[in-house]
Amino acid sequence: MAGNPDTRTPSNEGRAGWFSGKNLISIKDFSKAHIEDMLDKSEAMLHSLERHERRLDLQSKIMATLFFEPSTRTRLSFESAMQRLGGGAIGFADASTSSSAKGETLADTVKIVSSYADIIVIRHPKAGAMAEAVENASVPVINAGDGIGEHPTQALIDLFTIRMEKKRLGGLDIALVGDLKNGRTIHSLAYALAMFGNNLTLIAPDALQMPEGMVEDIKSRYHVEVSRSDSLDEAGRCEVVYIPRVQKERFTDIDEYHRFAKYYVVNRDFLEKADGDPIIMSPLPRTEEISRDIDNMKNSVYFKQASYGVPVRMAILSMILEGIK
């Protein structure tokens, strides 16, 4: 039987090594103190990259990336992070080239790959697939996106971006805009933002609003203000506007997707009218929701946000594999 790493949030907050050997499955597994530890480590990694330091933190360690769904930023930033720490990376970016195309189960794939690598990073189209992965893995597992479930490492990158740009993580008015129903990045981020005491404005058409059960859970857990709207004008008063693409792959009716693809567009006109002078964030890729005419404006931080994927994931990998022989 595979030896499953403990996924519980440790009680000894702030102690060095608290994340060693753990899985990273949900942002809800962590406290504010744990997240702040991760972001402090991420900032240290960023400074190390800026100084072009050669690091060997994870020399002789191997990471496996099992991506059953397409990815550019997540997969490549994980692989870059591992290599910049002196480790190696194996894996696949197209499930059709793996044994899953022959009918191999996720459980069997994970059992086998656990003997090839020290840590496994998985993206899978099925929400909840990570529970099966953790049950069958004998090495730590990182959730790189499970269907419409969560994307916790993206949430950490988002928090790091906000901290770098706004110099704080709490007490902000933040608008989450667009596909709040299907966006796994949104689902992880909403919990993380509420944990730090931010007020959330959920801007979406009714068909794409955040699930009611999730909203109520966030409010009961963190006692923050969560309001709903279908007007993009409401985002103009906020200090952060986070707008992911509409998730085409989650729609069964292509006509319905096209109805919502351009429902909200953040452009120069929006920013010129905005009272809150918001930063504009996105997990990327973008389609129609962010106009290219704002790419060079000071408010637009989405490309910088993407670049932070490397130091944040360096921190995550280093902290999980710390102390593992």
User: Catalytic pick from 102, 223, 273, 298?
Assistant: 102
Question: Which residue, 185, 115, 177, 132, is CA-closest to 157?
Answer: 185
Q: Which residues, 6 or more positions from 39, have their beta carbon under 8 angstroms from its beta carbon?
A: 156, 159, 160, 163, 169, 312, 315
Active site residue 258: no
Active site residue 237: no
User: Catalytic pick from 22, 41, 61, 74?
Assistant: 74
Find where tokens 């003997």 sit.
115
- Distance (Å, rounded) from C-alpha 37 to C-alpha 42? 9
User: Catalytic pick from 73, 111, 166, 286?
Assistant: 73
Find where tokens 């360096």 sit.
314
Structural contact between residues 77 and 315, judged by C-beta atoms closer than 8 angstroms: no
Active site residue 102: yes
User: Catalytic pick from 123, 184, 245, 313?
Assistant: 123
Active site residue 73: yes
Question: Which residue, 264, 111, 92, 97, is CA-closest to 178?
Answer: 264
Question: Which residue, 228, 222, 248, is CA-closest to 69?
Answer: 248
User: Catalytic pick from 151, 184, 187, 245?
Assistant: 151
Q: Residues with catalytic annotation? A: 73-74, 102, 123, 151
